[in-house]
Amino acid sequence: MGLKIIVLAKQVPDTRNVGKDAMKADGTVNRGALPAIFNPEDLNALEQALRLKDKYEGSTVSILTMGPGRAAEIIREGMYRGADGGILLTDRAFAGADTLATSYAIALAIKNMDYDLILAGRQAIDGDTAQVGPQVAEKLRIPQITYAESINSVEKKTVNVLRRLERGVETVESPLPCVVTVNGSAADCRPRNAKLLMKYKHAHTVTELQDSSEDYIDLTADRPYLKIKEVSAADVNADLNWTGLSGSPTKVKSIQNVVFQAKEARVLTADAYEIEELVKELIDNHTIG
Amino acid sequence: MSNVFVICELEDGKVVDVSLELLTKGRSLANELNCKLEAVVLGKDLKDIEKQIFPFGADVVHVGDDERLDPFTTLPHNAVIVELFKKEKPQICLLGATTMGRDLGPRISSELFSGLTADCTSLEIGPHTDKKAGKEYTDLLYQIRPAFGGNIVATIINPECRPQMATVREGVMKQEICDANYKGKVKTIDVASILKPEHLVVKVIERHMEKSKVNIKNAPIIVSGGYGMGSKDGFQLLYKLAEVLGAEVGASRAAVDAGYAEHERQVGQTGVTVRPKLYIACGISGQIQHTAGMEESSMVIAINNDPNAPINNVADYVITGDVNDIIPKLIKAYKKNTK
Ligand SMILES: Cc1cc2nc3c(=O)[nH]c(=O)nc-3n(C[C@H](O)[C@H](O)[C@H](O)COP(=O)(O)OP(=O)(O)OC[C@H]3O[C@@H](n4cnc5c(N)ncnc54)[C@H](O)[C@@H]3O)c2cc1C
């Protein structure tokens, strides 16, 4: 009983690791200088997918990501860890999308694919919204299971999932197909596999190939698994009213940068007034509260 | 007239704190917008539930009482609320940023094509000018939240779509009884006419309370304690501070070795490496093996009675004094200046 599993993954700036070189002179973060990484909880989702693939013979794991051309990097990264391939959903028309417009595009891409189970990280660290998983499920009109800590089994077209809630755990079952979003508390993703790294290091999208040498092109002709499929808004018949900025009900009205203090310690005494002033300052600059 | 709606969450027959906080906020938004506050409660055995809600100023409580709505699963709750909202057309809908609210909210907003902003830290009413489209908006909900790992604070609006939806975490808004004798109306939702077999396909097999695994690696705020906390009981003070700040508790090796905290909480060379937004080191000397695991924190506050403790060298703020004196002051100051 092979399962067809799609893992939704996002390439994100590493907001958790804002080093000195990513700081601008005014103390705000230079977002362009942050390294681009595989969204951490999407790796937890990938691990759950790979475990199912190990358990149920004949299963395949495909990574679906929406983003700019360079996001193909995380598809390759997923293949090094055991995914069979992936699709890069990329188009200028998708730029500026909020979670709803993103979910619309992703759901359209999924409709063109064969699937039993869709896994995603609970949320991405650049937005922390946790909305894309449930919204993709709604667009596809299939059930959703959020906050999963482990996918226990898939038997008789039913998936059994352990969820982590505020004060406990819950086991739920849903018929396939469904969307499951996976928590950071789930098992860590396995590392890259040396053999797979050799096998897939030349996997590329068409756009990437156009910038590379002839040899690579010959290589993909020979080995179709090295081709990472690129899909545009037109390929999925997207209605442009529903994509990107125009398909996004939420708009960003304004953005305020949080200013970090320079590294020179301020020394306080145990005086209640001084402590209260510090707390107020931390609340005002959104460090706490 | 379209109103402000709050979706209430229940636990053991009681409306949870975050919902009461949202009712309090919803009441003040409704006053500002000159509209009504309405609450939605779904579950089973809900007799008299409105009595818990009216004191917070709800003008209407919509009650959907049906066995199939408990325990919570997404699809039936979603179906009932979507149906209700199509009829009532709320202008604002607030939910707790709980596992339930963050599961249900996105599904509702997707089906109604209305915008949702997660984990707001502040909600205000204000105008907006769209210069490009030459449009003026009044009385929009400003949904204010940190983004980008806390490096920016964004104000989000939904100019065109309704309801304007937002989730808010527990403890962010204050909870205040509006009038103990406030009287509103109860409206019964005809759940049976809404639910279809396809809404009931997800089954809760088992549910039990269990302490969550300690996971300090991804915590945005860590309150960490060392040998200077004095005892396992002394560590309780850290848990109190962590609870009000929404933080996790970390520890030095000396504290772990002394049995004050579990090994999962150990920060440092032989523990976890953390990079939180804020690290508060309490009674930790700051040996290199410890600082190796926390020096990349965006901000460090060191609390130590030794003014020359090495931890002070990696700190942004140094508070010199006894932890047993300073931590309660921090808690008090925080409570006083929030809500
Ligand atoms: C190979 C190796 C690996 C190690 N790995 C780690 C590691 O991963 N993590 C780690 O933490 N350590 C590690 N250590 C141990 C490390 O060297 C220190 O011994 C340890 O961090 C000290 O813990 P501490 O600061 O809590 O205790 P102490 O050094 O005893 O410091 C206690 C501090 O509390 C202050 N204090 C006391 N009472 C009060 C009070 N009432 N109010 C305020 N302040 C008070 C004191 O002034 C002092 O600064 C490792 C050591 C080795 C050799």
Q: What is the pLDDT of residues A211-258, one digit of tens each?
A: 776 666 667 778 888 999 999 999 999 999 999 999 999 999 998 877
**Who contacts B236 (Cβ-Cβ below 8 Å, separation ≥6)?**
none
Q: Which of A132, A169, A280 sits opposite B210 (nearest CB)?
A: A169
| CATH superfamily to which B221-337 belongs | TPP-binding domain (3.40.50.1220)
List the beta bridge partners of residue A256.
Answer: B153
Look at residue A192 in the predicted model and tell me its pLDDT.
97
Q: What are phi and psi of A101, to 5 degrees?
A: -65, -35
Provide the residue range defining the domain that includes A83. 4-242
Cα separation of B16 and B99, whole Å? 13
Look at residue A105 in the predicted model and tell me its pLDDT.
98
Q: Say how many domains are in chain A.
A: 1
Read off the tokens for A151.
């996918």
Which one, of A59, A195, A198, lies nearest residue A117 by Cα? A59
| A267 occurs within a structural domain | no
Residues of B in contact with A163 (CB under 8 A): 99
Shared fold status for B4-200 and B221-337: yes
| A124 occurs within a structural domain | yes
Best mutation site among B222, B235, B257, B285 for ligand 1 pocket (most ligand atoms within 8 Å of CB): B285
Residue type for position B255: A
pLDDT of residue B215 exceeding 80, the answer is no
pLDDT of residue A261 exceeding 60, the answer is no
Q: Is B201 on the interface with A (CB under 8 A)?
A: yes
Calculate how close chain B gets to A153, using CA atoms only, in Å: 13
Least trusted range by pLDDT, from A23-27, A269-273, B239-243: A23-27
CATH of the domain at A38: 3.40.50.620
Segment A37-77, tens digit of pLDDT: 999 999 999 999 999 999 999 999 999 999 999 999 999 99
Ligand 1 centre to CA of B287 (Å) is 6
- Tokens 């939180």 belong to B276
Look at residue B209 in the predicted model and tell me its pLDDT.
78
pTM for this entry: 0.79
Ligand 1 centre to CA of A289 (Å) is 29
pLDDT of residue B168 exceeding 80, the answer is yes
What interface predicted TM-score (ipTM) does this complex get? 0.88
Best mutation site among B222, B282, B287, B323 for ligand 1 pocket (most ligand atoms within 8 Å of CB): B287
Asked if residue B254 lies in contact with residue B264, where contact means CB atoms within 8 angstroms, the answer is no
Least trusted range by pLDDT, from A140-154, A159-173, A246-260, B29-43: A246-260
Q: Is the CB of B253 under 6 A from ligand 1?
A: yes
- Type and span of the H or E element at B185: strand B185-188
% of chain B with per-residue pLDDT over 70:
99
Average pLDDT score, chain B: 94
| A121 occurs within a structural domain | yes
Q: Is the CB of B252 under 6 A from ligand 1?
A: yes
**Who contacts A274 (Cβ-Cβ below 8 Å, separation ≥6)?**
A268
Asked if residue A282 lies in contact with residue A288, where contact means CB atoms within 8 angstroms, the answer is yes
pLDDT of residue A1 exceeding 80, the answer is no
Please identify, in words, the CATH class of the domain defined by B4-200: alpha beta
| A177 occurs within a structural domain | yes
Residues 255..274 of A with a Cβ closer than 8 Å to B: which?
A: 255-258, 260-261, 263-270, 272
Q: Is the CB of B104 under 6 A from ligand 1?
A: no
Residues 204..223 of B with a Cβ closer than 8 Å to A: which?
A: 204-210, 212-213, 215, 218, 221
| A48 occurs within a structural domain | yes
Centre a 10 Å sphere on the Cβ of residue B232 and count the other Cβ atoms it contains. Answer: 12
Domain map (residue ranges) of chain B = 4-200, 221-337
CB contact under 8 A, A173 and B317: no
Asked if residue B39 lies in contact with residue B6, where contact means CB atoms within 8 angstroms, the answer is yes
